[in-house]
Structure 1
Amino acid sequence: MTKQTLDSPEAIRFLVNSFYEKVQADPLIGPVFTDVAQVDWASHLPKMYAFWESIILGNNAYDGHPFRPHLLVNQTHTLSREHFERWLTLFSATLSEHFTGDTAEQVRQRATQIALVWSQKLAYLNS
């Protein structure tokens, strides 16, 4: 399979869809999305397209508070560092499998920052 650059809304949709296929199949974090958060994928995926488009393309497509849903889930199911590490592992694997170039590496770094900061915030709140 030829790797593509991460530079268009279509490429971002492919990234998000490929990533969330992994998430749903994952034994650690899949149940958090499906059973705990009961994610409605038809509404969640477009939000994720917009979130990553805002980060990658700088188009301000996302208007929301991305940390808030994680706080809500954390009230009933403690999200641990392990959850965020798995999320990051799956995200990074998706990038490596399908994408090439500087933007893909920048997105990997941004995802790493998000996972680290959010896991630290929740660890603080859980302590």
Structure 2
Amino acid sequence: MKKLESREDIEHLVNSFYAKVVKDETISFFFNDVAKVDWDKHLPKMYSFWETILFGQMTYKGNPMAVHFPINEMKAMERKHFDQWLELWKLTIEENFVGENADMAIYKSENIAKLMAYKMEMARKI
């Protein structure tokens, strides 16, 4: 196991994570059927997102919350979906990395999942 310390490490993490996501019974349909994700565009955005979150590189430009609202309107993104996303993310980190940045990636993802689940739920109530 190695430390999570470079853009290449983030790319490996993100690629490994989404390999699980696209096969997952609970959340794959959001990516494959609802959002119809263009992986050639999505993956580089996710590399930059996590590079910004973990290393402060400021390579990510965008609003991740805003991107999820239209998907939530098409199909409700519920807490159970974010819980599964988080479970797959943690599993992928634990399979590949150790150290402070790996721990931070888990901590940040927990906060992201909680906030996203809350915001999506509130948006459905409006």
Aligned residues between the structures:
125
Indicate yes or no: 2:72 matched with 1:74: yes
Deviation, structure 1 residue 102? 1.2
Q: 1:22 aligns with which of 20, 23, 30?
A: 20
Distance 1:67 1:21 in 2: 22
Q: Structure 1: which 5+ runs fail to align?
A: none
Indicate yes or no: 2:40 matched with 1:42: yes
Structure 1 outlier segments of 4+, above 4 Å: none
TM-score of the pair, normalised by structure 2: 0.97
Q: 1:113 aligns with which of 104, 111, 114?
A: 111
Deviation, structure 1 residue 56? 1.0
Structure 2 residue matching 1:63: 3-state secondary structure: coil
Q: Structure 2: which 5+ runs fail to align?
A: none
Distance 1:93 1:40 in 2: 24
Distance 2:54 2:122 in 1: 29
Q: 2:93 aligns with which of 89, 92, 95?
A: 95
Distance 1:23 1:104 in 2: 19
Distance 2:8 2:25 in 1: 28
TM-score of the pair, normalised by structure 1: 0.96
Partner of 2:57: 59
Q: Which amino acid aligns with 2:58?
A: N
CA contact (8 A) 2:13 2:92 kept: yes
Distance 2:8 2:2 in 1: 11
Distance 1:122 1:25 in 2: 23
Q: Which amino acid aligns with 1:55?
A: I
